[in-house]
Amino acid sequence: MRAIDYQAPTSLSDAVSIMAQHGDRARALAGGTDILVQLRGGRREIDVLVDTKKIPELNGLNLSDGGLQLGAAVPCYQIYQNQAVAAAYPGLIDAAGMIGSIQIQGRATVGGNLCNAAPSGDTIPPVITLGGEAHINGPNGWRTVATEDFCTGPGRNALEPGELLVAVQIPAPAPNSGTAYLRFIPRNEMDIAVAGVSSTVALDDSGQNFVSARIALASVGPTPILATAAGDSLAGKAVSDDAIAEAGRLASEAATPITDMRGTVRQRHHLVDVLTRRTLNIAIRRARGEE
Partner 1 sequence: MPGLVHVTTTINGNQTDFLCEPRQSLLECLRDVVGMTGSKEGCNDGNCGACTVNLDGRIVCSCLMLGVEAQGAEISTIEGVASADGLHPIQQAFLENAALQCGICTPGFIVAAKSLLENEPDADEARIRHWLAGNLCRCTGYDKIVRAVLDAGEKMRAG
Q: Which residue ranges make up the site for partner 1 (CB under 8 A)?
A: 1-6, 8, 29, 31-33, 36-37, 39-41, 49, 51, 53, 77, 100-104, 106-107, 188-190
Q: Which is nearer to partner 1, 189 or 241 (CB)?
A: 189
Residues 6+ apart with CB under 8 A from 37: none
In whole angstroms, how close is the CB of 185 to partner 1 at the nearest point?
Answer: 12
In whole angstroms, how close is the CB of 207 to partner 1 at the nearest point?
Answer: 32
In whole angstroms, how close is the CB of 20 to partner 1 at the nearest point?
Answer: 19
Q: Which is nearer to partner 1, 25 or 107 (CB)?
A: 107
Give the separation between CA 256 and CA 26, rounded to whole angstroms: 32
Are 248 and 281 a contacting pair, CB within 8 Å?
no
Are 227 and 217 a contacting pair, CB within 8 Å?
yes
In whole angstroms, how close is the CB of 47 to partner 1 at the nearest point?
Answer: 9
Give the separation between CA 3 and CA 13, rounded to whole angstroms: 25
Cα–Cα nearest to 26, from 16, 40, 12, 11 = 16
With the C-alpha atoms ordered 29, 32, 37, 43, is the resulting torsion angle positive or negative?
Answer: negative
Q: Which is nearer to partner 1, 32 or 138 (CB)?
A: 32
Q: Which is nearer to partner 1, 47 or 204 (CB)?
A: 47
Q: Which is nearer to partner 1, 58 or 216 (CB)?
A: 58
Name the strand (E) or helix (H) holding 86: helix 83-88
In whole angstroms, how close is the CB of 245 to partner 1 at the nearest point?
Answer: 32
E strand intervals along the chain: 5-7, 26-29, 48-51, 61-64, 67-71, 133-138, 141-146, 151-153, 156-157, 164-171, 177-184, 195-203, 210-218, 225-226
In whole angstroms, how close is the CB of 209 to partner 1 at the nearest point?
Answer: 37
Q: Which is nearer to partner 1, 189 or 242 (CB)?
A: 189
With the C-alpha atoms ordered 249, 222, 187, 80, is the resulting torsion angle positive or negative?
Answer: negative
In whole angstroms, how close is the CB of 220 to partner 1 at the nearest point?
Answer: 24
Q: Which is nearer to partner 1, 144 or 188 (CB)?
A: 188
Considering only the C-alpha atoms of the chain, give the largest distance between any 2 of them, rounded to a whole number of Å: 61
Give the separation between CA 22 and CA 264, rounded to whole angstroms: 40
